[in-house]
A and B are shown apart, each in its own frame.
Chain A
Amino acid sequence: MYSNVLNYRGKRYLWLALGLLLVSVLLYLSQRPTLPPNGGSWQGYVLGSIALTMILWLSWLGIRKRRYQSNLGSLQGWTSAHIYLGIVVPLIATLHGAFQFGVNVHTLAWALMCLVVLSGFYGLYAYLRHPRAMVENRANQSFDERLADLAAADEKALALGAQCDPGVDAVITSCIERSALGGGFWDQLLQRDRSTVLLPTDRGERMSDNRNQDAVANYIADSLTRSSKAGEAQRLQQLLAIVVRRRELLCRLRREISLQLRLKLWLSIHIPATVALLAALLVHIFTVFFYW
């Protein structure tokens, strides 16, 4: 059976989490008829302590995963426990607060915890889905290898371009120089192709959109129909093949960047929200006992 963090050791941490949740629900229900359930009853304090301990332990994963020499269980086991226990923490914390919400530091801690867990859900989804898509996208070529391929294609195109009509040479040069990869956040995330090219016009060169290398491919195809020099058509054919090859390489590179971004983006919410949660918990606990 395919093993991942979710089915680690027969889902032992799933059962642990469910057991913890069951105990918490029983604790919560035991508050009636004594009181309306409340975070200030002894059951509320116990539930709060459980949730706090779990949050501190869950936060510790960020440190544990950097301690490669640690003998405290495997990292896969820690991650599996992190996921399952992390999923039940909001439920236990909600029972601790007895579904009472308001505009206060206590609800802020709860909301931040939910944000951490929701971002964690996305992280889990990303880690289960994107690596496979990245492998498929790479087709047994690393990112650097593909980049080297692109460089080689560029070299070949420039060499061929130099042997062609000066106009074609200029377009090929411009196309290579202005082929865009990556870019800003949205460009990376949405795999936007903002490539441009300077194409000749009656009054000089003019900047044109070269998305998917279409403009250059069209230009070379048009040049092909007009070529009359010996060997020009063959060189243009080769150039066209290189443009198509570059298009594919650029597309795959953009997709990989996007997948890498998606794979790590959730951490930009998960980690800051966790730190904010720890700060909010500190305020929550302090204020509860300050105004006891």
Chain B
Amino acid sequence: MAILIRKTRLKNGAILDQRDSEFHSDTLTLGSDSHSDLQLFGDDVAPRHATLQLEPSGHITLRALGEHALETDAGRLDNIELEPGDSVRLGPHRIELIEVPPGFDAALELRVDDDAKPDIRHRYAEALRLKLPSGRALSYISALLIIVAGLAIPLAGYFQPEFAAKTQSLPTPSDHLWLSGPLSDPHHVPGVADNCQSCHSTPFKQVGNAECSACHQHTTAHFIAPHPGVTDNAEQCTNCHKEHNEPSMLIVSDNALCINCHAQSLQRSAGNIGQSDTIAAATAFSEKTHPGFKVALLQLQQGGDELVWQRVAKSLDRPETREHSNLKFSHQLHLAGNEIKVSGAGGGERNLQCADCHTLAPDGEHFQPITMESSCQRCHSLDFNDQQPRRELPHTDGDELYYYLEEFFISAAVKMRNSDSEPAERWVPNWEMKQRCEGLNTLECGQRLADWEAEQLFNKTGCINCHQVSKVDGQTPRRWQVKPVRLVQDWFISSRFDHRPHVLGPEGTDGACLSCHQADTSEHASDILMPKLDTCVSCHGSEQHSQRSLQCVDCHAFHRDGMPAMASGLPQSHPPLTPGEGAP
């Protein structure tokens, strides 16, 4: 719509000039601002003072903006609908509705007091004021928001659980905003992960043993009761178990954890085996600070009236420390060059490898027991008779083996008696057997043949190749016995070791075994092929390879199977357990 504005300038009350302007808009702005459609100056004129609206009805409405007012004969108004002949004062100026000329929808006369032009500084004062955000307001608002959302609301929820319960359904702040680090995985359970107060029960007080025991009273394999020196209730669970610690590690791996108590025993142990008397409190895993390794050996010991197998610890550094397993075996022979071959994956042949016999157990530390059937028999057949080459002896103890031989050869003697074959110039089946049975009846023949075979197996070739065999006096004809095999299943019972990162790691090859276990030079079964301290130190010594340094608990387990539940070591402050709870 077109509006005609007739601008009449007055100077000292006299008309200076008159000009018409045409606006094609429904709304015009009035004020001292240079963007105003109708620019007016004067002390009482604001940069954006009012708007002028052409209504669809043809009326004109003036609306004051903000605190500014429009003056009429009737007084100060905020909103005026102009009728023909009406006039409104806006500061020193006057607006009047005039007769609408043809081609326009409305017409106004603006009588402008030209004397009201302000000084240039005054005129631009507002426009030149730097439009910076109010730092003070922002400061107060942001600080208040943080204190309310981060402190007041969570704190209210702490003291008023009903309030917390009400707000939990809403995305309102809670004490989870106070989380200082992620919970460890085992604690991601309902009741703990969603309730900070399950552990933080008392404000400004560290989490105590009672809070841990409230859930862990049935946790077994805990040290409190049996471990000497740490049964004092003053000892806090949190001394060793740190929560909210990234990466999610609940257990402190600090050497001081062990050395605070074990420095003297470690020092004594190191001294006993000829190492440095001062081990610098064993603060590092090195040849100078860590005692040499001891292996657990099985030895026959006097247990009351009889000899029993017992586990004894022997230092690996002593040359007399050898294993007495009653086996004969040479690792060197089996791993030697090109002598022993097995079929390879591609159909060809390859050298025997450690893993052909040693299969890692699921725990990654131990190996599956080696048996005749699983490891030896595919190369070492137990066949014994040329006429029945597919028949094999049972891999069993001496008595049972002798019964088997006797039954076999008595049966063979019966068959031989019933045949009419005569000795001949050339070799014929059973010729030697017939020779040995000359003059004996069938039963005696079978027994003699069994004796002869047993003599071969136990004294010349066969069992005696791999086993220690003893001669049993006074039990004719059963004169031989295989000594029982006693193999150690866990050499280092006080330590933990994971083969997987060592064998399957970036250096993982078949040769990885031999880099720690000197099997390729071991000639005797009594050799103990466990690595000594220097082998481990060569990679894990803190001085040489700090990035692979070890802490005590990396190798030494603290909690052991068979230990009682925590409840047996509950602190006195803990509330009594219900009957039947917490018993080891």
| B130 touches which of A196, A260, A279 (Cβ 8 Å) | A260
Q: Which residues on the B side are within 8 Å of A154 (C-beta)? A: 120
Tell me if A35 and B146 are in contact (CB < 8 A).
no
**Which of A128-136, A177-185, A217-225 contacts its partner?**
A177-185
Tell me if B203 and A36 are in contact (CB < 8 A).
no
- Give the B-binding residues of A (Cβ under 8 A): 33-36, 38-40, 98, 100, 102-106, 108, 144, 147-148, 150-151, 154, 166, 169-170, 177-185, 188, 194-196, 198, 201, 203-207, 257, 260-261, 264-265, 267-268, 271-276, 278-280, 282-283, 286-292
**Binary per-residue interface labels of chain B (46-61) against chain A in the complex, 1 for a CB within 8 Å, 0 otherwise:** 0000000000000000
Tell me if B150 and A108 are in contact (CB < 8 A).
yes
Q: Which residues on the A side are within 8 Å of B549 (C-beta)? A: 33
Tell me if A40 and B146 are in contact (CB < 8 A).
no
Q: Which residues on the A side are within 8 Å of B221 (C-beta)? A: none
| B143 touches which of A257, A261, A275 (Cβ 8 Å) | A275
Q: Which residues on the A side are within 8 Å of B178 (C-beta)? A: 104-105, 287-288, 290-291
Q: Which residues on the B side are within 8 Å of A280 (C-beta)? A: 146, 150
B302 within 8 A of A: no
**Closest chain B CB from A263 CB (angstroms):** 10
Q: Which residues on the B side are within 8 Å of A273 (C-beta)? A: 142
| A36 touches which of B127, B144, B247 (Cβ 8 Å) | B247
Tell me if A39 and B180 are in contact (CB < 8 A).
yes
Q: Count residues on chain B whose CB falls below 8 Å from chain A CBs.
A: 65
A133 to B252, CA, bound (A): 58
Assuming the contacts A38-B242, A38-B245, A290-B203, asked whether A106 and B128 have C-beta atoms less than 8 A apart, the reply is: no
Assuming the contacts A105-B150, A268-B135, asked whether A278 and B143 have C-beta atoms less than 8 A apart, the reply is: yes
**Closest chain A CB from B84 CB (angstroms):** 21
Q: Which residues on the B side are within 8 Å of A177 (C-beta)? A: 34, 39, 41
B165-180: which have CB < 8 Å to A?
A: 175-180
Tell me if A40 and B180 are in contact (CB < 8 A).
yes
Which residue of B has the minimal Cβ distance to A183? B127
Tell me if A105 and B143 are in contact (CB < 8 A).
no
Which residue of A has the minimal Cβ distance to B127? A182
Tell me if A188 and B131 are in contact (CB < 8 A).
yes
| A104 touches which of B128, B177, B203 (Cβ 8 Å) | B177
**Closest chain A CB from B540 CB (angstroms):** 12
B204 within 8 A of A: yes
B321 within 8 A of A: no
Q: Which residues on the B side are within 8 Å of A103 (C-beta)? A: 177
**Closest chain A CB from B531 CB (angstroms):** 23
Q: Give 24 CB contacts A-B under 8 Å.
A: A33-B254, A34-B256, A36-B245, A38-B181, A40-B245, A108-B150, A147-B121, A147-B124, A178-B39, A194-B34, A194-B35, A196-B35, A201-B22, A204-B20, A205-B19, A257-B128, A257-B130, A261-B131, A279-B143, A282-B151, A283-B146, A287-B150, A287-B177, A292-B206
- Give the A-binding residues of B (Cβ under 8 A): 4, 17, 19-23, 34-35, 37, 39, 41, 119-121, 124, 127-135, 138-140, 142-144, 146-147, 150-151, 154-155, 175-182, 196, 200, 203-207, 242, 244-247, 249, 252-256, 549, 551
Q: Which residues on the B side are within 8 Å of A105 (C-beta)? A: 146, 150-151, 177-178
Which residue of A has the minimal Cβ distance to B114? A173
| A196 touches which of B34, B176, B181 (Cβ 8 Å) | B34
Tell me if A292 and B120 are in contact (CB < 8 A).
no
A170 to B23, CA, bound (A): 17
Q: Which residues on the B side are within 8 Å of A267 (C-beta)? A: 132, 135
Tell me if A268 and B179 are in contact (CB < 8 A).
no
A90 to B35, CA, bound (A): 46
Tell me if B146 and A33 are in contact (CB < 8 A).
no
A34 to B41, CA, bound (A): 76
A288 to B206, CA, bound (A): 10
Assuming the contacts A181-B127, A206-B22, asked whether A264 and B132 have C-beta atoms less than 8 A apart, the reply is: yes
Assuming the contacts A151-B119, A182-B127, asked whether A287 and B151 have C-beta atoms less than 8 A apart, the reply is: yes
Residue with the greatest number of chain A CB neighbours at <10 A, chosen from B39, B155, B245:
B245
Q: Which residues on the A side are within 8 Å of B204 (C-beta)? A: 289-290, 292
Tell me if B124 and A182 are in contact (CB < 8 A).
yes
Q: Which residues on the A side are within 8 Å of B206 (C-beta)? A: 292
Which residue of B has the minimal Cβ distance to A276? B142
Tell me if B142 and A104 are in contact (CB < 8 A).
no
Which residue of A has the minimal Cβ distance to B255? A33
Which residue of A has the minimal Cβ distance to B248? A36
